[in-house]
């Protein structure tokens, strides 16, 4: 298309060098391109037809077909290279989700951070082999972010050395739109732990919920699908109810806290150690959601360079809509935001890796900082990305409403992120709580140091 | 200084000022409310969440400027223009906060607006190349409108071939429900 070629010839910078910077260096870019080539060479990993034309059943069928085929391509699944693995999965399933989405994104990372070395040795091979399809079930129908009020209980019985998982009310049913209801055979269940007559708060447990061979629900476990979602319909919208379901004591994830055979509870060295998994997921989310905005601005910008509309000077022909200042103001600030949010997401991952190293040494002093930062970034970025995608949709005129633009799918996917992994407003209030502590503490350091400074001038120096 | 010489340090100081003010105001309100009301936190929660948002904005502004300062020299101009567009737009859209107690004047806000229009004109010739540089593969983009080759309208006609509605000229539902009614009329 001559219009878009003309645009490319105008560039004032080296595009390849920008790409390298944006993707964090040549090594990461090469790994990314390797995945892309792999997908180009393996048609069986791609969609038979565009997914917006598929029904929910067809979408699930399509996801499973690609998933089953992926067993042959396990060279692309490498948990030592989480970046390459997640990009591969993202490229195979794009924004449709699939039964293994939460397995890789949450089940494995939480297992990795919360299971003891002995537990990891037993479970990780099963989880990696594909015989275990896992998800993470913390949320309940009636409870989200307020973990302390989760209704599901895990009561320790020292006589049998088992935990009894129980859902006391319908509002306590686990609800997780990440394949909990139909496709997973295991889940990490977060339940309030009771032992020796005392509630010790929410703890994670490794729980088998379906038979490994028949895939039927286990006795005293009731589970199913709630129904279609706005997006991510390649995975089911599951619910799960326990009726005094027994699991061995060893199924409690015991890296940080433990229950001994006699029922004695051993506290974690730091109360917030269990937040590591959440922080990891949010750190991934910020960058991924920024990427959705990058997708949307790419669509809106390219389309605006080929779409012509209006003829300001009669006889001179219609102009590219990208030349209108109003169109530029709709798109360009969001190009800038896509980059800003990506940088913030990348940095968050750097900090997360650093804090994880410290946690392994038992040092948890920075955990509240990164917990607050990841909560706030997740909340702000998901909300603003959602607004940005909407502006990009409007920038594409009527075609932006069509699935052919790709924008409805981006929009539907992204708006989910405003509520999953913590409702945005609740997260912002958690940040506020953290700030109240920083303000009132005698010394504030790191990202809160500015709170204890005085303004250097009464007026801006601008 | 003008928007062209508005330094990173000055920008960060201005955001720190506004954020600190938002946080401390919310805390003061909370402190007063705590003495009289049991649900003080709830009654201050809108301001508290807004203060939290400023804290995160400040973090992003700081980290973006810092990261760009380490970028390759030849990329700095385009990256700085994008960063300034993001920052100035944030300031102008929230000008009330920056103008409280005369910290910034209307003239300074106008200067920032000029910065936005300047940045947009500078970005315009680079816009397509910037989004190209995100290097989003067509498999991921899943968009006829955003296809790299720009052949949008032929692409849309290709797309129509996937529609099940086009498999038959007359839709089944028309034959089933509307045709009998039309025949009766």
* Series of mean pLDDT values for 10-residue runs along chain B (185 residues): 92 96 95 87 96 98 97 98 98 97 95 98 98 97 97 97 94 94 92
pLDDT in tens, A366-423: 888 899 999 999 999 999 999 999 999 999 999 999 999 999 999 999 999 998 888 9
**Rounded distance, CA A369 to CA A438, Å?**
10
Q: Could you identify the residue written with the tokens 């015991």?
A: A254
CB A84 within 8 A of CB A156: no
Q: What residues in B contact A432, CB-CB < 8 Å?
A: 26, 45, 48-49, 51-52
Closest-CA residue to A330 (of B46, B136, B89, B52): B89
Alpha-carbon distances, residue A352 vs A339, A423, B88 (angstroms): 20, 21, 29
**CA–CA min distance A204, chain B (Å):** 29
Q: Which residues of B touch A15 (CB under 8 A)?
A: 129, 132-133
Q: Please give the residue of chain B at the shortest CA–CA distance from A337.
A: B86
Helices (runs of H) and strands (runs of E) counted in chain B: 10, 0
Facing B150 at nearest CB: one of A4, A347, A447: A4
Residues of A that are catalytic = 421
Confidence of residue A274 (pLDDT cuts 50, 70, 90): low
pLDDT in tens, A4-21: 999 999 999 999 999 999
- Report ipTM (2 d.p.): 0.96
CA nearest B50: which of A347, A290, A424, A385? A424
Q: Among A247, A33, A239, A207, which residue's Cα sits nearest to residue A139? A: A239
Which pLDDT score, from 0 to 100, does residue B15 have? 97
Contact A17 B72 (CB under 8 A): yes
CA distance A73 to A35: 11
Is the Cβ pair A462, B53 closer than 8 Å?
no
User: How much is the average pLDDT of A198-202?
Assistant: 95
**A-chain residues near B86 (CB < 8 A):** 333, 336-337, 339-340
Q: From the list B58, B117, B132, which residue is nearest A8 (CB)?
A: B132
Instruction: Give CA separation, A359 vs A107, A269, A276, B106, in Å.
Output: 20, 10, 9, 49
Phi-psi region of A195 (alpha: psi -120 to 50; beta: other; left: phi over 0): beta
């Amino acid at each position: 298309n001559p219009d878009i070629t003309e645009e490319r010839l105008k560039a004032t910078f080296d595009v390849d060098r920008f790409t390298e910077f944006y993707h964090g260096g040549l090594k990461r870019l090469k790994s990314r391109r390797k995945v892309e080539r792999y997908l180009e060479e393996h048609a069986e990993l791609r969609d038979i037809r565009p997914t917006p034309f598929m029904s929910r059943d067809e979408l699930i069928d399509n996801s499973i077909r690609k998933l089953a085929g992926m067993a042959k391509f396990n060279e692309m699944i490498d948990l030592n290279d989480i970046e390459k693995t997640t990009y591969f999965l993202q490229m195979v399933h794009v924004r449709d989700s699939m039964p293994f989405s939460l397995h890789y994104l949450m089940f494995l990372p939480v297992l990795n951070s919360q299971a003891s070395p002995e537990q990891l040795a037993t479970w990780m091979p099963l989880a990696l082999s594909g015989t275990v399809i896992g998800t993470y079930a913390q949320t309940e129908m009636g409870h989200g972010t307020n973990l302390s009020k989760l209704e599901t209980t895990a009561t320790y019985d020292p006589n049998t050395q088992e935990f009894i998982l129980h859902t006391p009310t319908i509002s306590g049913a686990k609800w997780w739109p990440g394949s909990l209801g139909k496709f997973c055979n295991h889940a990490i269940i977060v339940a309030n732990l009771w032992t020796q007559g005392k509630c010790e708060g929410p703890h994670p447990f490794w729980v088998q919920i379906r038979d490994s061979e028949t895939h039927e629900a286990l006795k005293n476990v009731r589970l199913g699908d709630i129904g279609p979602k706005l997006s991510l319909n390649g995975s089911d919208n599951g619910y799960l109810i326990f009726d005094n379901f027994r699991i061995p004591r060893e199924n409690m994830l015991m890296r940080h806290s433990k229950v001994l055979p006699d029922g004695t509870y051993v506290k974690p060295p730091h109360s917030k150690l269990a937040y590591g998994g959440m922080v990891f997921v949010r750190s991934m989310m910020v960058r991924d959601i920024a990427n959705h905005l990058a997708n949307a601005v790419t669509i809106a910008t390219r389309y605006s360079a080929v779409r012509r509309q209006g003829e300001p000077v009669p006889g001179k022909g219609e102009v590219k809509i990208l030349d209108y200042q109003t169109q530029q103001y709709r798109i360009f600030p969001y190009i800038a935001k896509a980059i800003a949010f990506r940088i913030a997401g990348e940095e968050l991952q750097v900090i997360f890796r650093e804090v994880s190293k410290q946690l392994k040494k038992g040092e948890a002093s920075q955990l509240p900082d990164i917990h607050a930062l990841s909560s706030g970034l997740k909340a702000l970025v998901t909300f603003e990305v959602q607004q940005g995608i909407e502006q990009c949709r409007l920038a594409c005129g009527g075609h932006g409403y069509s699935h052919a633009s790709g924008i409805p799918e981006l929009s539907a996917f992204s708006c989910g992120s405003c509520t999953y992994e913590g409702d945005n407003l609740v997260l912002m209030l958690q940040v506020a709580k953290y700030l109240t502590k920083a303000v009132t503490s005698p010394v504030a350091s790191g990202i809160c140091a500015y709170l204890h400074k005085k303004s250097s001038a009464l007026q801006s120096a601008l | 200084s003008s928007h062209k010489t508005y330094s990173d340090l000055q920008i960060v100081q201005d955001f720190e000022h506004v954020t600190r003010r938002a946080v401390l105001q919310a805390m003061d309100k909370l402190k007063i409310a705590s003495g009289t009301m049991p649900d003080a936190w709830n009654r201050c929660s809108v301001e508290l969440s807004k203060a939290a948002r400023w804290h995160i904005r400040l973090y992003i502004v700081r980290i973006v400027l810092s990261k760009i300062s380490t970028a390759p020299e030849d990329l700095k101009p385009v990256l700085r223009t994008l960063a300034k567009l993001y920052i100035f737009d944030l300031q102008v859209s929230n000008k009330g906060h920056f103008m409280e107690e005369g910290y910034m004047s209307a003239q300074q806000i106008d200067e920032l607006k000029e910065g936005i229009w300047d940045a947009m004109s500078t970005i315009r010739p680079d816009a397509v190349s910037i989004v190209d540089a995100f290097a989003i593969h067509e498999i991921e983009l899943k968009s006829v409108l955003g296809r790299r080759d720009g052949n949008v309208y032929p692409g849309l006609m290709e797309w129509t071939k996937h529609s099940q509605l086009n498999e038959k000229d007359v839709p089944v539902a028309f034959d089933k429900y509307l045709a009998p009614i039309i025949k009766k009329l």
